[in-house]
Amino acid sequence: MNLKSFLLITTNYHPEPTATGKFNGEMIEWLVKKGHDCTVITTFPHYPFWKVMVPYTNRWFKKEIKKFDTPGSGILTVYRCPHFIPAVPTGKMRLIQEFTFLFTSFFVLLGLFFKKKIDYAIAVAPPFHTI
């Protein structure tokens, strides 16, 4: 099997219980269990509550490395970046939220650019018509 390296960039990821956070977590877990190495650049979990979930509160940046017990599985590396979370998610505030993630994730992405070979990059963002 030709194993690959995947990069997922998204504001929503596991352990968020609904929507794209849940989908992204399940997709990446499936890829890792198939033996692929996956890297995720994301925010701290905050959806659907619009506040950072415990135990992720009061953090700046965080790197998590997870290995699964499945034989032959790959390695999952998750980089969590701080970003603005609006108390009232209006269209304007959600745009600010997206731009703060763009800014903070850029530094992680820049570091990975020189360290790691990525075969496939996947970007998942909420549809802007919902803003």
Is 131 in contact with 91 (CB distance < 8 Å)?
A: yes
pLDDT in tens, 23-48: 999 999 999 999 999 999 999 999 99
Q: Is the pTM of this model over 0.75?
A: yes
What is the tally of structural domains in the chain?
A: 1
Q: Is the peptide bond before 89 cis (omega within 30 degrees of 0)?
A: no
pLDDT in tens, 58-106: 889 999 999 888 888 999 999 999 999 999 989 899 999 999 999 999 9
Structural domain including 27 reads 5-130
Which residues on neighbouring strands pair with residue 65, listed in sequence order?
77
